[in-house]
Structure 1
């Protein structure tokens, strides 16, 4: 009878204690979150309930399974499994706690700061910091799991003598990966590009959607995703339209006839931008910037709040200006002048003298 009750008490008691402690911690965090709504930390820590229960249950079973007299022939194997589960769940708990702390700090900063550029910069930094923490905790957890095996400890001691050579070989083999890793840290703390910035890379216009330690994703205006190594942004020039503020100045060029009414076009441009909600009211202008034997080049200059608005404003100005010229001043549109060849010159022999 004792051989049946003892395992039930050990296993049941461990599970019961785990469930009760998890419920109590969750209730405490729930009430603390309700009492302090100004910080989201306590609510975010509630995500740690499951890994906490895994850690607690694995620790209780690891310490008490020997008293349960379960599978006595496999005591070492069961202990090894429980140790691995304990290490893995502890790493999971640490990652969840660090993520909650980082996300809470970012949320409070974003709420208290009105500068959108600073918020995007901090968001990029905390995202990469969290990825570094996760990677470090994962590597340490795997190393700790391997060291629980006696054979691995012996193997690790024998490999210390050749660690220098292996380090050189690994460094050469992973040169590209390490370059991207350091480039990712440089982007995060050098404030070169941030999540949410509008950039132009390889002639493609888009918004930075994700930054990791090794790659960066740009979402283009037509919903495509361009994935590029972060080393590209530290080794090649690119346009960042969000640096120094989101305001943009756009230009629209028109090729018109020499007789085009430039003053009337200037007045029409003013009328168009006043009617367009995309114009921010900062500046506008129209000037003749170039001439050719058959046309003149007229440049319209407009300003908007951001890149999306300036694109909309440029399209609106171009469409309405062309329509106005076609309806009111058709002679101002560029024309292709052709002349018929005189009939008396056709097939006339050429005098070479």
Structure 2
């Protein structure tokens, strides 16, 4: 019942306005002329209440529709797509309704009717905004609409932005909120995501491949490492059973670079899996191949060889 309270209030206001003229018929008719103060106020309240009813009806429709699509489930790609589109579409429609209502109210006031007419003319809108040096606001609004259509990301997508890893928490017309892994919030204008590159880890699917790098000495046994990696992956529920790869990706003068690739059902699980594998593989090397930990070799040659040094 609580979620319908605002809609009920707006309906009551509209009903009151519709019957007020007959209820207060004893008042002089001149009070309700369109150019009278009371007439202007009544007209403005009527437009505002109708707009309010439309906005509240739209909000309730959105809530009922999105209840069918749970974004907390594992396979939530379709749900996140619909949540993003519907939420942004609602914001665009609400913006248009409010702009239209303001224009209609201004039309009812003779002295500023030209301003109301100008709001309905696209050229007038652009002229007013440019005159107020608010081009960035328009750019942000258009960027929000473009994001709703093209969807380079969706609500709850895992992204890397400004060297920060987190999830898309809110998508608004003028700004995007990214929930960082440490619970901070990164707020960026919508234009940022159209002008600068960013990483989307869950663009087409939630599952992801994680990498772990380990550096060892040349004497390490790769077969032993691969067997241990397989054993560790099969012992944990963090692994989705898909990717299990261990490769030597680089060799330097003092150590080898070993890259491990593992897969998980989503990015948070992949992070936990990478940490688990890194810790356990290092422990395995420490216990079983301590001589294969990275070393720095120094060779000292004896220059005082027999027959080259005078006594």
RMSD after superposition: 3.1
1:93 aligned residue = 53
Q: 1 CA distance for matches of 2:196 and 2:289?
A: 47
Helix, strand or coil at the partner of 2:67: helix
Length, aligned pairs only = 296
The gaps in structure 1 that reach 5 residues or longer are 1-29, 31-42, 345-353
Aligned to 2:83: 123
Q: Is the Cα contact below 8 Å between 1:204 and 1:220 reproduced in 2?
A: yes
The Cα of 1:250 is off from its aligned counterpart by 1.1
**Aligned-partner Cα distance in 1 for 2:124–2:53:** 36
Give the CA deviation at 1:85.
Answer: 2.5
2:161 and 2:198 in contact (8 A); partners too: yes
Distance in 2 between residues matched to 1:326 and 1:163, nearest whole Å: 71
The answer to whether residue 17 in structure 2 is matched with residue 50 in structure 1 is: no
Work out which of the residue numbers 140, 143, 147 in structure 2 matches 1:180. 140
Query: Which residue of structure 2 lines up, in the alignment, with residue 11 of structure 1?
Result: none
Is the 1:121–1:188 Cα contact (8 Å) retained in structure 2?
no
Match of 1:237 in 2: 197
The TM-score normalised by the length of structure 1 is: 0.74
Question: Separation in 1 of the partners of 2:143 and 2:88?
Answer: 12
Query: Where does the alignment leave 5 or more consecutive residues of structure 2 unmatched?
Result: 305-311
| Shift of residue 310, structure 1, vs aligned partner | 0.8
Q: Secondary structure at the match of 1:81?
A: helix
CA distance in 2, matches of 1:230, 1:95: 23
Secondary structure of the residue aligned to 1:324 is helix
Tell me how far apart the structure 1 counterparts of residues 5 and 244 of structure 2 sit (CA, whole Å): 54
CA distance in 2, matches of 1:93, 1:51: 6
Question: Any residues of structure 2 matched to 1:22-33 within 5 Å, and which?
Answer: none
Change in 2 beyond 3 A, CA 1:164/1:142 = closer
Q: Residues 63 and 147 from structure 1, CA distance in 2 versus in 1: closer, same or farther, beyond 3 angstroms?
A: farther
Q: Which residue of 2 aligns with 1:262?
A: 222
Matched, 1:170 2:129: yes
- Structure 2 residue aligned with 1:291, among 244, 251, 259? 251
| Richer in helix (by share) | 1
Task: State yes or no: 1:321 paired with 2:281.
Answer: yes
Contact 1:249 1:303 in 2 (8 A): yes
Q: String of CA shifts for 1:26-62, please: whole Å, max 9, x gaps.
A: xxxx9xxxxxxxxxxxx97675212111211232224
Question: Following the alignment from structure 1 to structure 2, what is the Cα–Cα distance between the partners of residues 168 and 62?
Answer: 39
Question: SS of the counterpart of 2:242?
Answer: strand
Question: Match for residue 308 of structure 2?
Answer: none
SS in 2 for 1:67: coil
SS in 2 for 1:279: coil
Query: Which whole-Å CA distance do the structure 2 matches of 1:270 and 1:165 have between them?
Result: 67
Instruction: Mark the CA change 1:261 to 1:167 in structure 2 (over 3 Å): closer, same or farther.
Output: closer
Change (3 A) 1:78 1:274: same
Per the TM alignment, residue 150 of structure 1 is displaced from its structure 2 partner at its CA by: 2.7
In the alignment, which residue of structure 2 is the partner of 1:223? 183
TM-score between both structures, scaled by the size of structure 2 = 0.83
Deviations 1:71-118 (A, max 9, x none): x8xx9444443333332222111110122223333334669x996222
Q: Distance in 1 between matches of 2:75 and 2:214?
A: 37
Tell me, yes or no, if structure 1 residue 148 matches structure 2 residue 148.
no
Of structures 1 and 2, the larger Rg is shown by 1
